[in-house]
Structure 1
Amino acid sequence: MALSCSVSFCMLLFSIFSFTCSNAKLDQTSLSFPLTALPLSTTKPHIKTNPQFRTLSSSSSSSSSSSSYNLKSSFKYSMALVVTLPIGTPPQLQQMVLDTGSQLSWIQCHNKTPPTASFDPSLSSSFYVIPCTHPLCKPRVPDFTLPTTCDQNRLCHYSYFYADGTYAEGNLVREKLTFSPSQTTPPLTLGCATESSDAKGILGMNLGRLSFPSQAKVTKFSYCVPTRQTRPGTPTGSFYLGNNPSSSKFRYVNMLTFTPSQRMPNLDPLAFTLPMQGIRIGAKKLNIPPSVFRPNAGGSGQTMIDSGSEFTFLVDAAYERVHEEVNRVVGPRIKKGYVYGGVADMCFDGDASLIGRLIGDMVFEFEKGVEIVIRKERVLADVGGGVHCVGIGRSERLGAASNIIGNFHQQNLWVEFDIGNRRVGFGEADCSRLAK
């Protein structure tokens, strides 16, 4: 997400029906969750901006490395991915948007009406509300700047506002995730939203010390996003916490890291920042200097990968070259004066497969020869009404100065976030078949 923050779009939706575990020994533990899709009601890209601002432990009193727990899930892709997690003691299933671009995780705590009933704190023995006197309620916690105030009960109140006008506010709390009576996370710092404009919470997965991976000691996670329109029905993909059995086939690129002295106005130091090198369209390498994809002296130009962002966004110096090439090969077919969701203006009526063939494959290039290849069949996104758009927008229209690779350009691709080794891995796959 951007503006020294993160940008969230539509995400993956998960529903947990059951879970199993075996824990003869901690290092043999495994968890399995079947997951299903829920539809989105939005008619445009869902933009959420996080304002300024690893394996699970076996119990509340101990922790373990990511090799101790492996969680495998399947999910169905409906443009927004939301994981349903067991929160509290005993557990209550809560929908939370999986977002690698933000830090604070929060759940709904105000709606008591099914079928979207939110978390009921009175039913959990492990629920704890953070008071105003707690250090986390101070206005300047290192790497976590969140507007907090004291409410009338002397409890820590937070407010979260997003770029698309949605918001969440409530109290900061401590609560566990309970996978079984013998397997829980430590108490995690979460937001408990008493007011919000969205029906789902957020699972913050970035590099911040209060993110879910940091607090739950998850050092590695991965997902495989299926293509949207390959088969009838909603396609299903896979999600892992812990080691991925396919990782021997992945190609890795080291993340860029930043010291406190490098904290710049337009930089999000907690994002998964990648050393992108260039873009190819068809057989043509676009004339974009690699420096365009790196943070400049003010932090602009950072390239981050975001599970929560639907589309990809580029700074002007890169976007203009993409637009020029698309215009060169299919210019007369561009839908004049049309901008989808206020961000995407390379849109078309008519035969999407023909336009895709004319544009050709698109490739994002990284260091060490690592590439994300977007096949010509997946260059265009169906945005409804017979209109298809190249899934790329101008980041300046978000008020951002960053390059953001969204989940539209992660289809049929394993993406592994190896936090322990400060790297991100990619591996092409038929994600729908993997989940079967």
Structure 2
Amino acid sequence: MSFPWAKEYQPSHPTMRWLDEKLPLPRLVYNAIGAGYPVPRNLNYFWNFGVLAGFCLMLQIVTGIILAMHYAPNALVAFDSTEHIMRDVNWGWMMRYAHANGASAFFVVVYIHIFRGLFFSSYKAPREMIWLLGVVIFLLMMATAFMGYVLPWGQMSFWGAKVITGLFSAIPLVGEPLQTWLLGGFAPDNAALNRFFSLHYLLPFVIAGVVILHIWALHIPGSSNPTGVEVKTAADTVPFHPYYTAKDGFGLGVFLILYCAVLFFAPNALGHPDNYIPANPMSTPAHIVPEWYFWPFYAILRAFTQDFLFIPAKLMGVIAMFASILVWFFLPWLDRSPVRSGIYRPLFRKFFWFGLIPAMAVLFYCGGAPAEEPFVMLSQIASLYYFAHFLIILPIVSAIERPDPLPYSITEKVLGEDENSALAPSAVPVEKSDAAPAAS
């Protein structure tokens, strides 16, 4: 993002001047996270979660590399090597718990980051590419997390791999060959474990590459903000450093307190007890369930219980599960409202807080519950609303709602209303008082 009032990087030390000439890394850092990057002055703590997500990714990469030094991706010894890490490797228990709970923390942070984007419409122009890359990151996270859950080779690891890869068999014609190709055989075994381990090790670095693209795309239009109004003057911004580095540092401190509380006092709270039993292909667990961060999509998968015409229920569930995430790719074009922030969209706000959020809460709960009534029926109702929200309600609301008046600028919102604001109620001509506010 280039503003005429942004400070230019001018190193004072001779060594830094030489380095900046030969390899402009100091300039890159200065323009990315320093005083050379102006940021809207009204960002709240919901904007901290992007930095927290980056921290979680680095935490997972570092702890994952250490764990990979001691893990054996062989079906005969994988479970034992995990126990070896926990019992015999110095600080191995902490590395494993940090990695397992770090995955949960990563998804908590990313889910909040996504819902902030949904409420403040961070997917709207000119930030569509930022949003699209973010959805790609989320899909890569889900694939990485699934393969990582298989590696301990406990009961839930084995049967989770069998159930999830078995979904591909629902695809007509190519489903069963695709499933066999993914597993390297007809059931999860050595070949599948080796493939999952290799991909689980590789994908975090792919995620890191897409994150770099995500940040690069962010720096072109600049950060969004709670008002949805674009930056107009230098008064609307402050340098990223020291203002937001300090704010992000405080947010990181709070995050680490909560993370360490779980890590040291309840490290197994989010895990499944069956995964501490070695994998046994001859003994099916009473209730197969994935990790908690997959629950809403698992609930959507199980919501389809009856065949429809020539389409099997299993295939419809698989399509719906993937469509529940793929629909996010089309949000920049489904939501046609000229106003970004949900704060100024009263009708959108009602459907968001009293429709989408409760539907997602129901899906989270039902995804971890047994596949029986009333959970199946609740999953069906919540799934129906989930898709209706994005495909029907959102386009209609964006076309018919009357947004509240927007502030003229970010500075006006922070420091007080300007009577000369082009969008202030006193500035709207009488004959045009019924017109919707101009695009932000």
Q: Same fold (TM over 0.5)?
A: no
Short-chain TM bin: under 0.3
**TM-score, structure 2 as length reference:** 0.24
- Name whichever structure is richer in strand by fraction: 1
Larger proportion of helix: 2
**TM-score, reference length from structure 1:** 0.24
